[in-house]
Amino acid sequence: MPGIVLVGAQWGDEGKGKITDLIAHDFDFVVRYQGGNNAGHTVIADGKRLALHLIPSGIMYPNVTPVIGNGCVIDPRVLIDEMDMLEREGISTERLLISGNAHLIMPYHLDLDGASELLLGKNEIGTTRRGIGPAYQDKAARVGIRVQDLLDPAIFKLKLETVLVEKNRLLERLYDLPTYTADDICAQYLTYAARIVPHIADVSTLLNDALRANRGVLFEGAQGTLLDIDHGSYPFVTSSSCTAGGATVGTGVGPVAINKVLGIAKAYLTRVGSGPFPTELFDETGETLAKIGGEVGTTTGRSRRCGWYDAVVVRYAAIINGLTDLCVTKLDVLSALDNIKVCVAYDYADKLYGTVPETQTAFHHATPRYEELPGWKCDISGCRRFEELPAAARDYIAFIEKLADVPVSMIAVGPSREQTIMRGWRL
Ligand code: IMP
């Protein structure tokens, strides 16, 4: 059994949750390797829609061990709420394993996320305000508090007192916000500890042993390639490594353990938050995509910006992640359109770009070059085999495949698990 990474090939919200949920039962472990509760996966179980932000979708299957790796940041209150919600739905969370090296999101991270966005004013990133950026900042600054610190209340308090010296000054003097005492946070976090500590595990050893024993491990990426801290549309990115490479750093397995990299791309394009988006639509078509596609964020409830499929972005994602397979989601949303545009290249300053420009300025000002394809104008949500799709929809997929230079081995035509066309996908 292989190690497979599933990544978003655009700006997040590609429908990764549905695909993870679809293939998870074939694996022994489903592992989150970066991000925190800025992610939002909607899974449909027994006709019920469940929103997961932190816990891997593999939790839905009793044969799967869900794992949160060291590359993640964890808001313990959110984690416990999510565990409680799942338990109420009759889904056991006992199997959940958490790396002791994952970092904790602390109350001041939430304050600082909101406050620094306010300070940025019109240059704001448009974060989810879940404290993600400030938690990763502290990790890099080596003043972060980790899950394993919950094991020792004295150490936890000592680290907290140390970091609060700086945080309280920042909160009070720069942002005019209330400060914290170590005692208050300790009281709150040590109650969380009772729930979290039983789930702490040596994730890296466990996964390496599993892979050596030929057991299946699915590394579930959150956000998307263009939100990656290194390879995304910086600074309008999240603070973690969403790309396939993040799976190795974020769990402690070597790159040769990864056999396949499955990229998920929506049949059109959306993004939330600020930053470049060359194919963004500000017209009726954009509104149609938003409406039919239900383009509202699972985590923040914000409306998503909508635009045409950008083959430049997906080609870039194919290269950066080393995609071996592509899954195109929400193809059914395009069924209402007479004609469908695909961005095949960008123009900027007398230069033609076939991949994402290397400078922020060029990306911001890139003008898309489009090719127009005919729509199919019929309901495809009941199609289960590629041959059942109308010719125009098959041509659209073939075009995407050619431009990405990666086989499209899965196509989603609706939100439920069954509404998926398998086209050569194998583990
Ligand atoms: P942060 O991750 O909350 O710091 O937000 C940074 C940027 O990433 C913002 O533009 C967010 O809208 C975006 N972002 C974070 N998580 C997601 C996601 O799961 N889907 C789409 N965009 C996201």
Domain that holds residue 79: 3-99+200-261
The domain boundary, picked from 245, 261, 277, lies at: 261
In a domain, 427, yes or no: no
The residues near 288 (Cβ < 8 Å, ≥ 6 apart) are: 336, 337
**Ligand 1: centre distance to CA 40 (Å):** 10
Cβ < 6 Å from ligand 1: which residues? 12-13, 38-40, 125-128, 130, 132-133, 222-223, 227, 236, 238-239, 272-273
Q: How far is the CA of 313 from the centre of ligand 1 (A)?
A: 17
Does residue 13 carry a catalytic annotation? yes
- Final residue in a domain of this structure, among 140, 169, 196: 196
With CA atoms as reference, report the closest residue to 152 among 115, 100, 112, 108. 100
Phi, psi of 410, rounded to the nearest 5 degrees: -150, 145
pTM of the full structure? 0.96
Same domain, 82 and 139: no
Distance 52 CA to ligand 1 centre (A): 15
Burial class of residue 249, CB neighbours in 10 A (0-12, 13-18, 19+): middle
| pLDDT tens digits along 355-367 | 999 999 999 999 9
Task: Count Cβ atoms within 10 A of the Cβ of residue 266 and give its class: 0-12 exposed, 13-18 middle, 19 or more buried.
Answer: buried
**CA atoms within a 13 Å half-sphere pointing along the CA-CB vector of 126:** 19
Tens place of pLDDT for every residue, the chain, 427 residues?
Answer: 689 999 999 999 999 988 998 999 999 999 999 999 999 887 766 777 888 899 998 898 999 999 999 999 999 999 999 999 999 999 999 999 999 999 999 999 999 999 999 999 999 999 999 999 999 999 999 999 999 999 999 999 999 999 999 999 999 999 999 999 999 999 999 999 999 999 999 999 999 999 999 999 999 999 999 999 999 999 999 999 999 999 999 999 999 999 999 999 999 999 998 999 999 999 999 999 999 999 987 777 889 999 999 999 999 999 999 999 999 999 999 999 999 999 999 999 999 999 999 999 999 999 999 999 999 999 999 999 999 999 999 999 999 999 999 999 999 999 888 999 999 998 8
Q: Which two tokens stand for residue 258?
A: 């990864």
Considering only CA atoms, which of 7, 34, 5 is closest in space to residue 135?
Answer: 34
User: Do 190 and 150 touch, CB atoms closer than 8 A?
Assistant: yes
309 and 383 part of one domain: yes
| Same domain (yes/no): 271, 255 | no
Report CA(144)–ligand 1 centroid distance (Å): 21
- Top mutation candidate among 127, 226, 241 for ligand 1, by most atoms within 8 Å of CB: 127
Same domain, 8 and 77: yes
Pick the atom of ligand 1 nearest to 300's CA: 12
